[in-house]
Amino acid sequence: MALSGIDASWELKIAVEETGPEADPITLRVTGDIHIGGVILQLVDKMEIKKNWSDHGLWWDQKRCWVLKTNWTLDKYGIQADAKLVFVSQHKAIRLQLPNLKTVKVKACFSSPVFRSVIGICKILNLRHPEELSLLRPVEDPNQKKRRKEKDLEPEEVVDMESFATPRGIQSQGYFHPNGAHYMRDTPEGEAAYQILAISQPSVAPELIAKMYRPSSLIDKAQIHSRMSRHRGLVSHTELARFQNVTIRPLTTNLTVPLLSPLRQYDVVRINQLYEQSRWAVLLEEIECTEEEMMMFAALQYHINKCSLSGEAEEVHKSSEFDEVEAALSTLEVNLEGSNPNDVLDSITSIPELRDNLKLFRPKKLTLKAYKQYWFIFKEMTISCYKNQEVFGEPIQQMNLKGCEVAPDVNIAAQKFCIKLLIPAPEGMNEVILRCENEDQYAKWMAACRLAAKSKTMADSSYSSEVQNIRSFLRLQNANPSSQLASDTNAEDINTKSLVSFRYQKKYKIKQLTPRILEAYQNVAQLSLTETKMKFIQAWQSLPEFGLSYFVVRFKGQRKDEVLGIAPNRLIRIDLGVGDMVKMWRFNTMRQWNVNWDIRQVAIEFDENINIAFSCVTADCKIVHEYIGGYIFLSTRGKEHSETLNEELFHKLTGGHEAL
């Protein structure tokens, strides 16, 4: 030991992850001026394990930090003989819960700031705009634990993406396969993972939705954000166990969703994840919506499920384009040959017609007239009705359905298939009800009515799919699953209750719900899969509460807690008791904001000498700071949505004192 005193060297013990926690640490003889790089070199030599150690680094357990600067000396770091160092891999697998509630295992970097790790994860998942995302620690309060246990009983499916390395050549703007496909799809495992990421998941049983955690108050909503982690290095290996479950969660803000169709292909995963996030936000009542809005969301979900399951997937897009070209070509042909008048004649007369016996009823005040049977002819956009099949002379009545409102009035159990028409006329709306004999007839006439309302005839290519849609929806409504109609396609096995949030599950019976969803559905039935998802996202973004993150705060000089809502463009002060907005400040009138890290207070100055200051109750003030900084960063992004990320600025805006 005397020797050590002489040459000023001392023993440094380093544990190695690979040898297991029980194994003795490896002892190195070092001096204070030796570089970290030298230490690692010695260590590797001594271990005599052949391996690629390049991803490994030293973790200093007491100080909870990484010792990564290889050109620094031990002295510079202040490492002495009592330091517990661990030699571990910097990249480890984490279990990441995606917005669609699927869990994937991905490699994430533990040694860099969260933001960096998120960028890395996004590269693997091939998502653009990592700056909009962050990681969220799983819920840990006792209530949740119970739930979690229950849930854990069902083995959770984890998609292993650990082996996916970032393909070479991936730039920050994402990697585009030469033929436009996602890089993962090159391998079979990749394809499977891709399906999980890019294709929306079927609906969950309504009971499950009911069981899931729903924030019921503003305070609950405020809690979520206390779990957000942004800046700290992910975790040490020792904490790994605790942080194995991480949710990736967009800051729901200026999500730049590209609208250009060429870009969409690359954004399939992103759009799907956004859709999933918005869907769960709506279903779990994280964001409130009205009944009408809920019905629309339900209809969109129904349509998305249907498209996804029927395998149309993204091919829809291509094929529809193809169809258009085809159609254009054929019309062109017709045009060119147009000199033959018979062609024209044909094209006119070839519009299909419907002829049937239906019952007509015009609801009017104080009349109790029953349904009366007539002979109806549906041609182009007009329904004519005659006394009987001998169509002589003028029809008894004629209805032009263009621009009319069509509503179903169906009760399968009672074998009631009615079409309610509100036909606009200069004097007001004429209400007419057509009663069909059976499902089949109903589907045909209903589809024709809907198309006519949108100024299309039955010659339109969408007619047959419309008929199909109506049929499948009728099947949905069929309360008795054992009926002979039992769905041949499992796609139709959707419980409409699973499309709405718990509140509406309670409020309505399936019987009431289905027709309402059907009604909303007719407006979206013709959209392609991606369009529908986009529409869902847009509708979600249009909700008044969209993008608001809540924090319970106490304003300077106030005695009671209040809620601060942070939206992408403004701050809102909300009365905790009533939930009313008290005051609003917009970010673009903000001059500066400061955080006093000692007293944990955020102070903001706005134009016209408006100053506010508050301390945070439910979350660290750093998180509030990160939110504000993050939104301001997002607003500085280039208008042209340039893809290069200004990381430095991001850290400056969100890092607080740690960034300095």
Partner 1 sequence: MESGGGNASDDIDAMFSDLLGEMDLLTQSLGVDTIPPESAKLNQDSEFKLSIGFMDVNESLNALEDTDLDALMADLMQDINATEQVCNAKALAASSQAFSDSEFWNSTKTPDFPEFYSEPPASPRRYTELQSLDLPPPPPDVTLPPPPPLEPPEPLTKEEQEARAKADKIKLALEKLKEAKVKKLVVKVLMNDSSSKTLMVDERQTVREILDNLFEKSHCDCSVDWCLYEKNPELQIERFLEDHENLVETLSHWTRDSENTLLFVERKEKYAVFTNPQNFYIAKNKAEGKDMKEKNKGALLEECFCGTSVIVPELEGALCVKEDGKKSWKRRYFLLRASGIYYVPKGKTKTSRDLVCFIQFENVNIYYGMNYKAKYKAPTDHCFILKHPQIQKDSQYVKYLCCDDPWALQQWVTGIRIGKYNKTLYDNYKVAVQKAGLASRWANLSNVEPTKSSISAAPQPNGHPGQLQQALNPVSSAFPQTCKQEEKRTYNADTNYPPPPAHLVCQEPMRGEVEELPPPPPPSFEPSPPPFLPPQMPAEHSRPKPGPPPPPTRHFPSATSAAPPPTLIKRKNSGASNEPKPSVRFVDLPAPPPDPEHFPEPPPDFLPPPPPCFNSNSGGPPPPPPPPPPPPSNPTINAVKRPLVPRRSDNTGITSNVRPGGGGSSDKPDLMSDLMKVLQKKRAALNE
What are the DSSP calls for 57-101, one per residue? EEEETTTTEEE--TTSBHHHHT--TT--EEEEESEEEEEEE-TTS
Q: Residues 278, 537: contact at Cβ < 8 Å?
A: yes
Find tokens 């005659």 and name the residue.
Answer: 386
Residue (495 or 569) nearer to partner 1, CB:
569
Query: Does 591 participate in binding partner 1 (rule CB under 8 A)?
Result: no
Residue (80 or 588) nearer to partner 1, CB:
588
Q: Residue from 155, 169, 180, 428 that binds partner 1 (CB under 8 A)? A: 428
Query: Does 394 participate in binding partner 1 (rule CB under 8 A)?
Result: yes
Amino acid at 514: T
Q: Residues 48, 72: contact at Cβ < 8 Å?
A: no
Residue (196 or 406) nearer to partner 1, CB:
406
Residue 267 beta carbon to partner 1: minimum distance, rounded to whole angstroms: 12
Q: Residue from 197, 257, 385, 552 that binds partner 1 (CB under 8 A)? A: 257
Give the tokens for residue 553.
């705060």
**Strand blocks (E) in 99-240:** 103-109, 133-136, 158-160, 228-229
What are the DSSP calls for 517-552, one per residue? HHHHHTTTTT--HHHHHHHHHHHHHTSTTTT-EEEE
By CB under 8 A, which span of 71-79, 134-142, 260-268, 283-291 interacts with partner 1?
283-291
Contacts of 419 (CB under 8 A, 6+ apart): 406, 407, 408, 409, 433, 434, 435, 436, 442, 445, 446, 449
Site string for partner 1, 469-508 (x = CB under 8 A): ----------------------------------x-----
By CB under 8 A, which span of 84-92, 96-104, 217-225, 334-342 interacts with partner 1?
334-342
* Residues of this chain, 184-213, that bind partner 1 according to CB under 8 A: none
Query: Does 290 participate in binding partner 1 (rule CB under 8 A)?
Result: yes
End-to-end CA, the chain = 42
Nearest to 555 by CA among 610, 626, 633: 610
Q: Residues 217, 92: contact at Cβ < 8 Å?
A: no
Query: Does 232 participate in binding partner 1 (rule CB under 8 A)?
Result: no
Amino acid at 520: A
Site string for partner 1, 531-570 (x = CB under 8 A): ---x--xxx-xxxxx-----------------------x-
Residue 557 beta carbon to partner 1: minimum distance, rounded to whole angstroms: 25
Query: Does 289 participate in binding partner 1 (rule CB under 8 A)?
Result: yes
Query: Does 9 participate in binding partner 1 (rule CB under 8 A)?
Result: no
Residue 588 beta carbon to partner 1: minimum distance, rounded to whole angstroms: 6
CA angle, corner 84, sides to 82 and 87, nearest 5? 140
Strand order in the sheet with 85-89: 26-31, 9-16, 85-89, 56-60, 65-67
- Reported as half-sphere exposure (CB side, CA atoms, 13 A), residue 312 has a value of 18
Site string for partner 1, 102-141 (x = CB under 8 A): ----------------------------------------
Q: Residue from 21, 341, 557, 638 that binds partner 1 (CB under 8 A)? A: 341
Query: Does 583 participate in binding partner 1 (rule CB under 8 A)?
Result: no
Residue 571 beta carbon to partner 1: minimum distance, rounded to whole angstroms: 14
Query: Does 99 participate in binding partner 1 (rule CB under 8 A)?
Result: no
What phi, psi does 290 have (nearest 5°)? -85, 170
Q: Residue from 256, 397, 472, 487 that binds partner 1 (CB under 8 A)? A: 256
Cα distances from 64 to residues 169, 174, 655, in angstroms, run 34, 33, 19
Residue (393 or 557) nearer to partner 1, CB:
393
Query: Does 395 participate in binding partner 1 (rule CB under 8 A)?
Result: yes
Query: Does 405 participate in binding partner 1 (rule CB under 8 A)?
Result: yes
Q: Residue from 372, 586, 591, 600 that binds partner 1 (CB under 8 A)? A: 586
Give the tokens for residue 46.
């001594």
Burial of 38: CB neighbours in 10 Å, binned 0-12, 13-18, 19+: middle
Query: Does 457 participate in binding partner 1 (rule CB under 8 A)?
Result: no
* Residues of this chain, 512-531, that bind partner 1 according to CB under 8 A: 523
Query: Does 288 participate in binding partner 1 (rule CB under 8 A)?
Result: yes
Query: Does 393 participate in binding partner 1 (rule CB under 8 A)?
Result: yes
Query: Does 336 participate in binding partner 1 (rule CB under 8 A)?
Result: yes
Give the tokens for residue 516.
């309402």
Residues that bind partner 1 (CB under 8 A): 254-257, 259, 288-293, 296, 334-336, 338-339, 341-342, 344-345, 348-349, 379, 382, 384, 393-395, 398, 403, 405, 424-429, 503, 523, 534, 537-539, 541-545, 569, 579, 586, 588, 639
